[in-house]
Amino acid sequence: MGLKFIRAELHVHTVLSPCAEIEMLPPLIVQEAVERDIQLIAITDHNATGNIAAVQKAAQGLPLTVLPGMELQTREEVHNLCLFETLAAAAAFQEWVNRHLPDQPNRPDYFGEQLLVDENGDFLSTEPRLLLTSADVSIDDACAKVHEMGGVFIPAHVNRTANGLLPTLGFVPEGICLEGLEISKHLKPDEARRQFPQIAGYHLIQSGDVHRLDDFLGVNQFEIGAPTLAEIKLAFNGQAGRAHRILSRTI
């Protein structure tokens, strides 16, 4: 398989996340990614997967692959990117998460609306349950579950005080087998390694944690055969000639 360079943004919210801007609609998300020459995105709403299929449909016919994902908040209040190869795997994971989410209604006036939409961005329904909360599962169990479903587990914005792994739990738990750690857009990878010596040895990705169209970064460069999760795993492990690096930004 010939390898190609693919730019990716692996942390993108839609209007299903109460904190996302109303512009985070499937057609606008895919248009923005394509305009920025990003060929791969992962949709990662808070504890939810309901808008992924709509974004995948909106991307049909465009040079953009949309991976299913979720930004899971575990019991420790840590946010984690959970990426899957298929919608079916994401749906199965959602079912498991649902069993551990508290049955607490959303307060749209306080947290924001949680909207399910179609591929045109048209309103379908509202998610009534509060998504901005912790599922009652440990980060260790969540990681194991994601792997059981063939997924990839990457703690999100690990440097961030709010819901980041390093401030919350101090360091990466012993015995947890992660594909990598995500750093926030404001931090350069070498700065992150200086500030947090405890992340030495972990593979880093960087994302815009896209809550508005302006947040797209696309600095993850993969050298892979195809935009699939299987290829991404090879790249994170540096296997079969596959590679992943964080591009330095010129602006």
Provide the binding-site residues for other proteins, judged by CB under 8 A: 75-77, 138-140, 161, 166-171, 173-174
What is d(CA 238, CA 245) in angstroms, rounded to the nearest whole number? 10
Which structure tokens are listed for 177? Answer: 């087998």
Q: Which is nearer to other proteins, 106 or 168 (CB)?
A: 168
Please classify residue 60 by burial: count the beta carbons closer than 10 Å to its beta carbon, then call 0-12 exposed, 13-18 middle and 19+ buried: exposed
Residues 190-229: b if buried by 16+ CB within 10 A, e if exposed: eebbeebeebeebebbbbbbbbebebbbbbbbbbbbebeb
Enumerate helices (H) and strands (E) in the chain, giving the number of each.
8, 11
CB 151, CB 82: distance < 8 Å = yes
CB 10, CB 43: distance < 8 Å = no
What is d(CA 232, CA 82) in angstroms, rounded to the nearest whole number? 13
Question: Residue 105 Cβ, how far from other proteins at the closest point, in Å?
Answer: 22
Q: Which is nearer to other proteins, 25 or 146 (CB)?
A: 146
Which structure tokens are listed for 65? Answer: 């692959």
Question: Residue 64 Cβ, how far from other proteins at the closest point, in Å?
Answer: 37
Question: Residue 163 Cβ, how far from other proteins at the closest point, in Å?
Answer: 11
Question: Residue 76 Cβ, how far from other proteins at the closest point, in Å?
Answer: 5
Q: Which is nearer to other proteins, 113 or 141 (CB)?
A: 141
What is d(CA 13, CA 221) in angstroms, rounded to the nearest whole number? 20
Q: Which is nearer to other proteins, 109 or 174 (CB)?
A: 174
Q: Which is nearer to other proteins, 51 or 163 (CB)?
A: 163
Q: Which is nearer to other proteins, 66 or 78 (CB)?
A: 78
Question: Residue 112 Cβ, how far from other proteins at the closest point, in Å?
Answer: 25
Question: Residue 70 Cβ, how far from other proteins at the closest point, in Å?
Answer: 20
